[in-house]
C-alpha cells in the first residue's frame, strides 16, 4: 500500500509540472496586473511602473518567472535598482518551500488570502456533498426497487430536468421564490447574498441560514445526476446471485439492500465522488458569484479578472494537489470496499 | 413476430429463418430509438426549438432585437411584447430568438471542435501507443485535473477581445463567438479522447486490423477506414450529450461576463444582464433560462435514447414489436 501511494505521488509530479507550466503561461497573459495594483484605479506613473514591474519580477521572461515561482530566487543575486548589475539575493522562496508570493491586489501573502476562502468553500461543498449523497442514495434505491413504477418514471423525468438546469438559473428561481416572494408574503425568507448579516456577525445560526439557498441550488443539479447513477448501479447489483442468496436465507430486506446491494453498488459511486469533490471546490464559481459567497471560486474569478498571478496559481496548485490526493484516497477506499482489489 | 419458422440445421443447431430481409444494424438502432418514448419527446422538443429560433426570426428582424426604446424599458409581458422588454426597452422575445440561434450554433460548433480534437488525440494515442500515448494521456489527465470552468475563465480572458466583430451571412457577430466556440471545444474533448483511445486499443488487436496491416494498408486508412467506423456509436452518443453541455457551458461563461459580448445576444449573456433585475423584472431571466433548460433537456433525452439504441448490449429483442 505504501509503495502504491509513493508510486502514485511520483506519477503526479510530471502531471503537476504540465499543469503549472501551462497555467503559468496563461496567467501571465491575462492582462496588466498593475492595473488593479493601485486599488483605487489611480494612474501609475511610467517610472513607478518600471520600478513595480521589476519589484514584482514581471520584467523577466516568463520561464524565468516560472522558475522563481517554483524554487524561489534567494539563491541568486538579483538586480533590484535596475542598473543591470545584480546586487543582492532575492527574497522569494518558491512554492516548493511554501512561498506563493504576495497577492498583487491585496499585497499580502497569496496563501493567506486563499486559506481564508478555502474554509468557506469547504463548508459549502462538504454540506452539499453530504446532502447530495443522502438524497441521491435514498432516491436511487427507491427508484431501483420500484423500477418502472409511476414514481420511478416521475423521478427519472425530474432528474433529467434537474440535470439540464443551469445552476445559476436554479439559484435565481430559488432566490426569487424563497428570498424575495416569501419576504413579500410575510413568510420566513432566506437571505440572498453573503455569509452573514453584517450587524449580527458570523454566528453559526446566521451562516446556516445563509447556506440554505446556495446548498439547495448546488444540490438540485448534483442530486439529479447522482440518483440516476445510484439507480442504475443498484439495478445491476440487485439481480446478482448473492442478493438472491441473501434473500433466500431469510435476511431482512433492509440488511440485504443496505449491507449487500448498496455496498457493492457504491463502488463506482466512490469514483465519481472522488472526482467530483475537488471539482466542486473550484466548480462553484457561478454559484459563489451569484450568492456572493466568499469562497475560492469567486476568488479565482476575481484573480483572473485582475491578473493576480500569485493567487491564481496558488488556487490552481491547491486544486491540483486535492485532485491527486482524492484520486489516491479513492483508490484506497476501493480496497476496503472490495477486498478483491489489491495494488501491491 | 411474423414468418418465423424454426428449422433444424444439419449440425442440429436451431436456426431462425426469416422470409423478410434481415435488418441492418442501423435499422435496428433506428427501431430501438423510435421505441424510446423520452427520445421521441426530445426530438419533438428539439424540432420545436429549432423552429422557434428559425421561423421566429421571420417575425422579428435582428435590428428589432437590438432596437432600444427607453420609453418602454422593463415593461412586463404584454400582448405587444410577449416576453416583456429589458432594461433598455429591447424586446425579450426577439432577443431569445436571435440569442438562441447563437447559443445553439455555439453548442454545435464547440462539439465539432471537441469531437475533432478528441478523436485525433484518442486515435493517435491508442493506435501508436508507447511514448506518444504516454505524453498525450498525461496531457489529457492534466486537462482533466483543472476544473473546466477555471480553464474556461483563464482561456476566455486570455483570448478575449483578440478577434474583431465580423460579418457572416449578412449578420455581424462579435468576435467573441468564435473565441467561445474554440475555448469550449478545447476544454471538453478529454472524455471523448479517452473513449476513442480505449476502443482503438481493443480494436487494433482484432484480426481484421491485423489483416489490413498485413496487406500493407496505410496507418491513416486503418484509423479512418477501419477503426473509427467501428467506434462510431460511443462517439455519436458522447457528441450529442456534449452539445447539451456546451450550451450550458456557454451560459455559465457568459453569465460570468467572459462569454459572448454584446451586441450579439445569447441566452447566457441575456441571463447575465438580467441578474441585476432579479426582483424587478423576473421575465428577463425566466424566459432565456427556460429555453436553455428545454434545449438541454431535449438533447439529453435524445442522447439517452441514442445510448439505448446504439448500445450493442441491447441487441436482444430487436424484432419484438
* A28-44 confidence digits (pLDDT tens): 888 777 766 665 555 66
Q: Is the peptide bond before B75 cis (omega within 30 degrees of 0)?
A: no
State the pLDDT at residue B319.
40
Query: What angle is formed at CA A307 by the lines to CA A306 and CA A313, rounded to 5 degrees?
Result: 125
Cα end-to-end distance, chain A, whole Å: 6
Q: Phi/psi zone of residue A341: left (φ > 0), alpha (ψ -120 to 50 degrees), beta?
A: beta
Within a domain: B12: no
B219 touching A, CB under 8 A?
no
What CA–CA distance (Å, rounded) separates B117 from B261? 26
Q: Is the pLDDT of residue B138 over 80?
A: yes
Of B146, B244, B285, the CB nearest to A172: B285
8 Å CB contact of A166 and B141: no
Dihedral of alpha carbons B119, B122, B126, B128, sign: positive
Q: Which of A11, A33, A159, A164 to mutate to test the interface with B (most CBs of B within 10 A)?
A: A164
Q: Is the pLDDT of residue A220 over 70?
A: yes
Within a domain: B93: yes
Quote the minimal CA–CA distance from A15 to chain B in Å: 6
B window 89-108, beta carbon within 8 A of A: none
- H or E element that contains B173: strand B171-173
CB half-sphere exposure, A133, CA atoms < 13 A: 15
Q: Which residues contact B312 (CB under 8 A, 6 or more apart)?
A: B233
Domain that holds residue B202: 42-320
What CA–CA distance (Å, rounded) separates B133 from B125? 4
- Which among B156, B141, B152, B120 has a CA at the least distance from the CA of B249? B152
B136 touching A, CB under 8 A?
no
What CA–CA distance (Å, rounded) separates B142 from A275? 13
Dihedral of alpha carbons A16, A21, A22, A24, sign: positive
Q: What is the mean pLDDT of residues B65-70?
A: 72
What CA–CA distance (Å, rounded) separates B264 from A239? 53
Within a domain: B24: no
Within a domain: B23: no
Residues B172 and B166: beta-carbon distance below 8 Å: yes
Mean of the per-residue pLDDT values for chain A? 83
- Which among A236, A215, A210 has a CA at the least distance from the CA of A134? A215
Number of domains in chain B: 1
- Which among B244, B228, B157 has a CA at the least distance from the CA of B195? B228
Q: What is the mean pLDDT of residues B245-269?
A: 87
Q: For residue B154, which residues of chain A lie inside 8 Å, CB to CB?
A: 23, 26-27, 30, 304, 312
Give the three-state DSSP class for B8.
strand
Name the pLDDT band for B316 (thresholds 50, 70, 90): very low
Name the pLDDT band for B44 (thresholds 50, 70, 90): very high
How many helical (H) and strand (E) elements, i.e. helices and strands, does chain B have? 13, 4
Within a domain: B37: no
Specify the pTM: 0.86
What CA–CA distance (Å, rounded) separates B202 from A99? 46
State the pLDDT at residue A42.
59
Name the pLDDT band for B115 (thresholds 50, 70, 90): very high
Within a domain: B271: yes
Q: For residue range B165-219, what is the model confidence (pLDDT) as tens digits?
A: 777 766 777 778 888 999 999 999 998 999 899 888 888 888 888 898 899 888 8
State the pLDDT at residue B295.
94
State the pLDDT at residue B181.
92
Q: Can you give the CATH number for the domain in which B132 is found?
A: 1.10.3720.10
Name the pLDDT band for A106 (thresholds 50, 70, 90): confident
Q: For residue A300, which residues of chain B lie inside 8 Å, CB to CB?
A: 150, 153
Q: Is the pLDDT of residue A268 over 90?
A: no
State the pLDDT at residue A63.
85
State the pLDDT at residue B221.
87
8 Å CB contact of A282 and B147: yes
Q: For domain A116-337, is the CATH number 3.40.50.1980? A: no
Q: For residue range A3-13, what is the model confidence (pLDDT) as tens digits?
A: 888 888 888 88
Name the pLDDT band for A57 (thresholds 50, 70, 90): confident
The domain ranges of chain A are 116-337
Which chain A residue shows the shortest CA-CA distance from B156? A30
Mean of the per-residue pLDDT values for chain B? 82
Strand-pair partners of A89? A77
State the pLDDT at residue B17.
54
List, as one string, the DSSP characters of B92-110. HHHHHHHHHHHHHHHHHHH
Within a domain: B154: yes
Amino acid at each position: 500500500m505504501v509503495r502504491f501511494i509513493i508510486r502514485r505521488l511520483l506519477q503526479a509530479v510530471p502531471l503537476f509540472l504540465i499543469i503549472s507550466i501551462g497555467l503559468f503561461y496563461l496567467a501571465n497573459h491575462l492582462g496588466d496586473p498593475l492595473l488593479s495594483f493601485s486599488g483605487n484605479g489611480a494612474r501609475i506613473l511610467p517610472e513607478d511602473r518600471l520600478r513595480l514591474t521589476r519589484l514584482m519580477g514581471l520584467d523577466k521572461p516568463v520561464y524565468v518567472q516560472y522558475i522563481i515561482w517554483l524554487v524561489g530566487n534567494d539563491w541568486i543575486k538579483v538586480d533590484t535598482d535596475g542598473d543591470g548589475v545584480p546586487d543582492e539575493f532575492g527574497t522569494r522562496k518558491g512554492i516548493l518551500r511554501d512561498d506563493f508570493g504576495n497577492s498583487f491586489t491585496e499585497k499580502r501573502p497569496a496563501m493567506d488570502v486563499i486559506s481564508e476562502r478555502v474554509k468557506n468553500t469547504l463548508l459549502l461543498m462538504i454540506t452539499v456533498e453530504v446532502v447530495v449523497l443522502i438524497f441521491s442514495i435514498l432516491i436511487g434505491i427507491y427508484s431501483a426497487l420500484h423500477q418502472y413504477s409511476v414514481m420511478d418514471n416521475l423521478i427519472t423525468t425530474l432528474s433529467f430536468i434537474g440535470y439540464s438546469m443551469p445552476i445559476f438559473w436554479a439559484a435565481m428561481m430559488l432566490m426569487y421564490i424563497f428570498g424575495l416572494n416569501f419576504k413579500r408574503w410575510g413568510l420566513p425568507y432566506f437571505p440572498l447574498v453573503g455569509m452573514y448579516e453584517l450587524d449580527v456577525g458570523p454566528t453559526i445560526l446566521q451562516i446556516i441560514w445563509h447556506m440554505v439557498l446556495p446548498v439547495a441550488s448546488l444540490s438540485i443539479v448534483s442530486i439529479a445526476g447522482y440518483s440516476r447513477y445510484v439507480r442504475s448501479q443498484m439495478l445491476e447489483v440487485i439481480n446478482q446471485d448473492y442478493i438472491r442468496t441473501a434473500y433466500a436465507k431469510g435476511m431482512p430486506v433492509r440488511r440485504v439492500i443496505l449491507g449487500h446491494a448498496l455496498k457493492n453498488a457504491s463502488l463506482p459511486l466512490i469514483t465519481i465522488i472522488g472526482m467530483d469533490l475537488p471539482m466542486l471546490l473550484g466548480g462553484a464559481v457561478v454559484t459563489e458569484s451569484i450568492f456572493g459567497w466568499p469562497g475560492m471560486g469567486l476568488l479565482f474569478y476575481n484573480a483572473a479578472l485582475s491578473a493576480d498571478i500569485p493567487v491564481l496559481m496558488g488556487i490552481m496548485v491547491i486544486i491540483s494537489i486535492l485532485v491527486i490526493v482524492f484520486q489516491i484516497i479513492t483508490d484506497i477506499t476501493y480496497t476496503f470496499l472490495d477486498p478483491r482489489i489489491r495494488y501491491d | 413476430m411474423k414468418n418465423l419458422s424454426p428449422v433444424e440445421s444439419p449440425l442440429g443447431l436451431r436456426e431462425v429463418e426469416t422470409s423478410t430481409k434481415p435488418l441492418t444494424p442501423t435499422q435496428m438502432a433506428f427501431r430501438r430509438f423510435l421505441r424510446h418514448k423520452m427520445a421521441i419527446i426530445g426530438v419533438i422538443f428539439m424540432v420545436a426549438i429549432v423552429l422557434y429560433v428559425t421561423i421566429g426570426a421571420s417575425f422579428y428582424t435582428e435590428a428589432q432585437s437590438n432596437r432600444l426604446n427607453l420609453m418602454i424599458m422593463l415593461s412586463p409581458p404584454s400582448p405587444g411584447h410577449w416576453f416583456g422588454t429589458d432594461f433598455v426597452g429591447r424586446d425579450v422575445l426577439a432577443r431569445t430568438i436571435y440569442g438562441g440561434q447563437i447559443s445553439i450554433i455555439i453548442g454545435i460548433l464547440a462539439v465539432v471542435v471537441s469531437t475533432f480534437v478528441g478523436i485525433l488525440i484518442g486515435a493517435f494515442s491508442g493506435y501508436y501507443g508507447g511514448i506518444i500515448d504516454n505524453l498525450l494521456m498525461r496531457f489529457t489527465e492534466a486537462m482533466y485535473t483543472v476544473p473546466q470552468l477555471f480553464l474556461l475563465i483563464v482561456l476566455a480572458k486570455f483570448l478575449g477581445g483578440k478577434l474583431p466583430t465580423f460579418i457572416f451571412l449578412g449578420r455581424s457577430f462579435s468576435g467573441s463567438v468564435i473565441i467561445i466556440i474554440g475555448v469550449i471545444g478545447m476544454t471538453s474533448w478529454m472524455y471523448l479522447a479517452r473513449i476513442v483511445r480505449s476502443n482503438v486499443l481493443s480494436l487494433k488487436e482484432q484480426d481484421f486490423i491485423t489483416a489490413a496491416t498485413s496487406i500493407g494498408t496505410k496507418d491513416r486508412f486503418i484509423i479512418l477506414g477501419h477503426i473509427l467506423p467501428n467506434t462510431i456509436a460511443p462517439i455519436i452518443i458522447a457528441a450529442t450529450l456534449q452539445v447539451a453541455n456546451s450550451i450550458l457551458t456557454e451560459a455559465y461563461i457568459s453569465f460570468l461576463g467572459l462569454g459572448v459580448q454584446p451586441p450579439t445576444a445569447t441566452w447566457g449573456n441575456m441571463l447575465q444582464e438580467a441578474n441585476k433585475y432579479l426582483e424587478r423584472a423576473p421575465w428577463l431571466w425566466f424566459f432565456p433560462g427556460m429555453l436553455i433548460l428545454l434545449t438541454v433537456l431535449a438533447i439529453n433525452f435524445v442522447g439517452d435514447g441514442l445510448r439505448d439504441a446504439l448500445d450493442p448490449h441491447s441487441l436482444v429483442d430487436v424484432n419484438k414489436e
